[in-house]
């Protein structure tokens, strides 16, 4: 009989727990001894550890490793990656998992597209910045600031309107940041500014994953990518490069996604209309300095009609 705290037993959840311990360990090593020995290497190591930790937060919000969500939240409470409150990430990401709204500029919290009417009214300088942000290089260099700025602005508006839970999520996030700062001060290692630099590196690495996870397409089932990469970035992103598999089976743990894809490869590629890349190097070659998409949604409002079709069918 399995331990009831685990959704699928110790063996199923052990890789997640092991990687979480490794992330904390790398973060601890980088912010203490390694900082004094090799500061530049320490920033790189802490940046990698923070990015891995953020990927693990994604795994946790999908119900791993414990069946008890409070235990899961406790595992990822310290804000190693600085930028986003975990509870807000959880809420917006689970909303994003309603596939009919994928890429919708209004309903999908993770969309990088804008309503063409909104785009037309933007200042020329902001348009230029957002175009740069639609290249991989731009997404990594300025994308963390742009994404955080939009997210912070939207949440500030929600807090002013008194939307329940948003202010609490940010207060808890500040407490999580406080824990990290206390660690840095107590251990006398990496200064706060260097940690923030590492956090920006982590956010830049994560932008590689999210850069083309979803595309504009008339069919919502065709909007989610597969990247057949099995290298270090696949581990860093916890196999979310098999993204259509994750969207179809969000409760499946990260280490099972590649096998599930191999067993049903033709099915997944039929579903997403062949939205496929062989590896991340192919993406770098194609889009490092060339935009993948326009910023205004290219099939708007056709995509909105696809999103609303299930609601219309239910109403009828």
Residue 275 φ/ψ, nearest 5 degrees: -80, 90
What are the structure tokens assigned to 239, written together? 């196999």
Tell me which H or E stretch contains 227.
strand 226-227
CA distance 246 to 1: 27
What are the structure tokens assigned to 271, written together? 């579903």
What are the structure tokens assigned to 151, written together? 């997210």
pLDDT one-digit tens code per residue, 92-146: 999 999 999 999 999 999 999 999 999 999 999 999 999 999 999 999 999 999 9
pLDDT one-digit tens code per residue, 65-79: 998 999 999 999 999
Widest CA span of the chain, in angstroms? 67
Contact status, residue 101 vs residue 108, Cβ threshold 8 Å: yes
What are the structure tokens assigned to 69, written together? 């969500």
Other Cβ atoms within 10 Å of 172 Cβ, number: 17
In this predicted structure, the answer to whether residue 315 has a pLDDT above a threshold of 50 is: no
Rg of the chain (C-alpha set): 20
Contact status, residue 217 vs residue 99, Cβ threshold 8 Å: no
CA distance 91 to 54: 15
In this predicted structure, the answer to whether residue 8 has a pLDDT above a threshold of 60 is: no
Record the pTM.
Answer: 0.91
Average of pLDDT values for 279-307?
88
Alpha helices per DSSP H over the chain: 10-31, 33-37, 39-61, 69-75, 86-96, 116-120, 124-133, 136-141, 143-160, 166-187, 192-210, 232-236, 243-248, 257-263, 265-271, 280-287, 302-315
Contact status, residue 134 vs residue 291, Cβ threshold 8 Å: yes
In this predicted structure, the answer to whether residue 162 has a pLDDT above a threshold of 50 is: yes
State the chain's mean pLDDT as an integer.
Answer: 93
The whole-number pLDDT of residue 6 equals: 43
Q: What's the Cα-to-Cα distance from 224 to each of 25, 102, 269, 287, 314, rounded to whole Å? A: 33, 8, 10, 17, 24
Model confidence at 252, in pLDDT bands (50, 70, 90)?
very high
The whole-number pLDDT of residue 303 equals: 62
End-to-end Cα distance, the chain: 46
Residue 111, helix vs strand vs coil: coil
pLDDT one-digit tens code per residue, 187-232: 988 999 999 999 999 999 999 999 999 999 999 999 999 999 999 9
Contact status, residue 142 vs residue 129, Cβ threshold 8 Å: yes
List, in sequence order, every residue forming a beta bridge with 276; answer none if it has no partner: 226
Q: Is 314 exposed, middle or buried (0-12, 13-18, 19+ CB in 10 A)?
A: exposed
């Amino acid at each position: 009989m399995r331990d009831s705290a685990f959704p699928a037993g110790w063996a199923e959840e052990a890789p997640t727990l092991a990687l979480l311990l490794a992330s904390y360990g790398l973060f601890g090593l980088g912010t203490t001894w390694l900082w004094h020995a090799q500061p530049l290497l320490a920033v790189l190591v802490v940046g990698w550890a923070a990015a891995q930790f953020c990927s693990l937060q994604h795994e946790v919000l999908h119900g791993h490793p414990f069946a008890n969500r409070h235990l899961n939240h406790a595992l990822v409470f310290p804000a190693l990656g600085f930028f986003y409150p975990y509870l807000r990430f959880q809420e917006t990401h689970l909303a994003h998992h309603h596939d009919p709204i994928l890429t919708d500029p209004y309903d999908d919290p993770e969309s990088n597209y804008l309503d063409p009417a909104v785009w037309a009214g933007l200042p020329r300088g902001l348009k230029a910045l957002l175009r740069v942000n639609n290249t991989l290089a731009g997404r990594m260099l300025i994308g963390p600031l742009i994404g955080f700025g939009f997210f912070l602005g939207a949440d500030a508006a929600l807090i002013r309107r008194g939307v329940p839970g948003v202010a609490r999520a940010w207060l808890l996030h500040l407490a999580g940041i406080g824990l990290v700062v206390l660690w840095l001060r107590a251990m006398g290692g990496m200064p706060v500014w260097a940690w923030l630099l590492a956090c920006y590196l982590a956010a830049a690495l994560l932008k590689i994953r999210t850069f083309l996870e979803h595309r504009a397409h008339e069919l919502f089932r065709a909007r989610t990518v597969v990247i057949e990469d099995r290298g270090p970035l696949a581990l860093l992103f916890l196999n979310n490069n098999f993204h259509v598999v994750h969207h179809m089976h969000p409760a499946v743990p990260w280490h099972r996604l590649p096998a599930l894809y191999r067993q049903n490869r033709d099915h997944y590629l039929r579903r997403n209309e062949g939205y496929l890349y062989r590896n991340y190097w192919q993406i770098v070659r194609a889009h490092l300095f060339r935009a993948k998409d326009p910023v205004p949604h290219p099939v708007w409002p056709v995509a909105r009609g696809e999103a609303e079709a299930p609601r219309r069918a239910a109403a009828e």
